Amino acid sequence: MIRIILTDDHTILREGIRALLTAEPDLQVVGEAANGEALLSLLDSTPTEVVLLDLNMPGMDGFAALEQLRAQHPEVKVLVLSMLDHEKYVARALDSGARGYILKNADSTEIMYAIRTVADGRLFLCTDIGLDLLRKLTQASPEKPATDAGTKMASDLSTRELEVLRLIAEGLTNAEIADKLFTSKRTIETHRQNIIEKTQAKNTAALIKYALNQGLIE
């Protein structure tokens, strides 16, 4: 039996994953936590093999929790479950002790496979991140180094980030974009922050100019 603690500040997400795992005879959710502090407190009294850990949480976030877990509970395997898809977050999480990284939009089969893989002591990287890294590697050409910084940064945006950027450029608010894409406002805020970091745009006007220059909108 693989005992699991779900750590995410979204109650609905925890409930959904718990319901998903209930049908699996070898997987058991033994606790839930809304941030790193609650997780560490729970681990002191709850035997656990795997922690599903979000990175973006109030109070002690996932990165801080990873550092504490490595020091206090090195035997516990951590599978990051996040919306952050940039390779810098993946690398930082793995460097901090996570054994796997999967995106929240992964299907149920991949999530359960990831849990079992991490519990078995092996590393796991979800399909979307792996394919995105492969795409970036194949786009890199040492014979033709990129000279246009804007073009290089555009290739760093994920498909969903490009979609969000187009909607931002059309003048939609975060709440309106969330409704249009059937997701939460917080998820859109995370995508928007990722876009700003990747494009180095300082405000919405700069994002719109960037989108125009890249031919993402007319």
* Sheet containing 27-33: order of strands: 27-33, 2-7, 50-53, 77-82, 100-103, 124-125
Confidence (pTM): 0.66
Q: How confident is the prediction for the chain on average, in pLDDT?
A: 86
Domain spans, the chain: 2-129, 138-213
Could you give the CA distance from residue 133 to residue 104 in angstroms, rounded to a whole number? 18
pLDDT of residue 138: 67
Enter the CATH code of domain 138-213: 1.10.10.10
pLDDT, one tens digit per residue, over 128-149 is 888 777 777 666 545 444 444 4
Please tell me the distance from the alpha carbon of residue 60 to that of residue 127, in angstroms, as a whole number.
28
| pLDDT, block means (10 residues), the chain with 218 residues | 96 94 94 96 96 95 95 96 89 93 91 95 88 69 45 65 84 85 85 84 77 72
Chosen CATH of 2-129 out of 3.40.50.2300, 1.10.3720.10, 3.40.250.10, 3.50.50.60: 3.40.50.2300
What pLDDT is attached to residue 150?
Answer: 47
- Pull the structure tokens for residue 106: 């992964």
Residues forming a β-bridge with 124 = 100
